[in-house]
Amino acid sequence: MSDLPDDFTCTITNWEYIYGLCRDVADEVRSAEFDPDVIVALARGGWFAGRCCCDFLGLDDLTSLKMEHYVGTAAKASDPEVRYPMPEGSVEGKDVLIVDDIADTGESLHHAHEYVVERDPSAVRTATLQLLDTSEFDPDFVGERLEEWAWIVYPWNFIEDMIDLIQGVMERADDKRFERADIRRYLATYHDIQRIEMEIAQPDRLDEVLAEMERRGVVESADGAWQLA
């Protein structure tokens, strides 16, 4: 999240909602009469979606492709590169569906599409659960189109994202010690994460996140309050 502005809106999702988007993507694939032989799930966000689409579409061939953004003289930060190549021959001569969780700039899907096309498949289509209007790449199949930009907190990276968000608001605030109410207030102020939204999507998990932050040495707790370690 280091490249994001200090204030940005977050939307917290749950498993049921995301599972529904997986079903919507699979419905679009069937409606288009595209019958993939293999799904390529982009790591890490596309794994859940890829596996669910396999179930909906009756596929048992699932492989993974890890795209990563590098920073340095050899590559711009915005240029995703392949970190873990797919096994040789895994898509050759096959109809391929590439699946990711979200297209923000669309660069990961675009580069993944190029990478797969170079490996002699019969056909390649792309899908994403959610598509932001900032994406310059238009996937073939989309579960949901989002007109307003937001950082989407998915169930599979809830703790990871919430640790980053809570640490970020603690660093910005003038307070040195934070009770639960303080943390919730700053999450609402800086990221529009309202308590009712969080409790509906991921109920009773704030203490779990704080406990994990303490285990990782990010915060220290005493007398029902937390401070940065």
- Say if residue 129's pLDDT is above 60: yes
User: Whole-angstrom Cα distance, residue 178 to residue 109?
Assistant: 40
For the domain made up of 12-146, the CATH class stated in words is alpha beta
Half-sphere exposure of 148 (CA within 13 A, CB side): 5
- Domain residue limits, the chain: 12-146, 156-218
What end-to-end distance do the CA atoms of the chain give, in Å?
20
pLDDT at 76: 45
For residue 127, CA distances in Å to 24, 156, 165, 171, 189 come to 11, 19, 28, 37, 34
Give the residue from 213, 217, 220 showing the smallest Cα distance to 176: 220
User: Whole-angstrom Cα distance, residue 176 to residue 180?
Assistant: 13
Beta strands in 72-200 (DSSP E): 80-84, 95-103, 123-132, 141-146, 151-153
| 29-87 per-position pLDDT tens digit | 999 999 999 999 999 999 999 999 999 999 999 999 998 765 443 444 556 778 778 88
Using 50, 70 and 90 to split pLDDT, how confident is the model at 1? low
Give the residue from 119, 152, 116, 154 showing the smallest Cα distance to 134: 152
User: Whole-angstrom Cα distance, residue 17 to residue 201?
Assistant: 9
